[in-house]
Amino acid sequence: MCGLFAGRAAAAAPIRLLILGDSLTAGYGLARGDGFQAQLAAALLARGRDVVLIDGAVSGDTTAGGRARLDWVLAEGADVALVELGGNDGLRALPPEGTEANLAAILDVLAGRRIRVLLSGMLAPPNLGPEYGAAFNGGFQRLGRRAGVLFDPFFLEGVAGDPALNQPDGIHPNPQGVKRVVARLLPLVEQLLDGVK
């Protein structure tokens, strides 16, 4: 009987979702309740999802930074992860092969811990030229084809370049832009959660 109750208790435990990202998921320039994580948590709650978000987003972070602190962030435990990194690599014109290698290492660690992943990609700034863009964007496409990885090609899809959805810097979404991102990603996040055994 104790085992039965223990099983029920375990089943009722909230799913722990790690957000490993940069300023886009850290809520840069926004009030706490308007940021990505707050809006995602509210959207999941409205859908009846019992989820605890683990904040692993740091403004200004590169893929190398995310890779370096992954073990520390995972100390809190996670069942699934949303990885949103790479924008700062592109803004700094870092070598695309390094970006891909860092993200591959992050995915390897998460896979080794049986943590399912939603990889939300980034597109290279167009001013860096077509050759850089093809290499940068191609890395995300290759990683997105990995087994066990859900892939969203562009975190800012439908928001980037729209002044009505971005802060004055033209890079970071405003509250309405974040709302658009969350609404678009919500089905993929729910698919990620549904894969937890």
What is the gyration radius of the CA atoms in the chain, in angstroms? 17
Active-site option among 79, 89, 120, 172: 172
Instruction: Supply the pLDDT for residue 190.
Output: 98
| Model confidence pLDDT, tens digit, residues 57-66 | 999 999 999 9
User: How far is the C-alpha of 131 from the C-alpha of 153, rounded, in Å?
Assistant: 18
The pLDDT value given to residue 101: 98
The sheet that has 80-84: what strands, in order across it? 51-57, 15-21, 80-84, 116-120, 149-152
Mean pLDDT by 10 residues, the chain (197 residues): 43 89 98 97 97 97 98 95 98 98 98 97 96 98 96 98 97 98 98 92
Among 55, 108, 169, 194, the active-site one is: 169
Q: Are the CB atoms for 190 and 49 separated by under 8 Å?
A: yes
Q: Give the count of beta carbons closer than 10 Å to the beta carbon of residue 117.
A: 22
Catalytic residue list contains 59: no
Q: Residue 121: what pLDDT?
A: 97
Catalytic residue among 23, 61, 79, 120: 23
The pTM score is 0.92
Name which of 90, 133, 115 is nearest 20 in CA terms: 115
Residue 169 falls in the annotated catalytic set:
yes
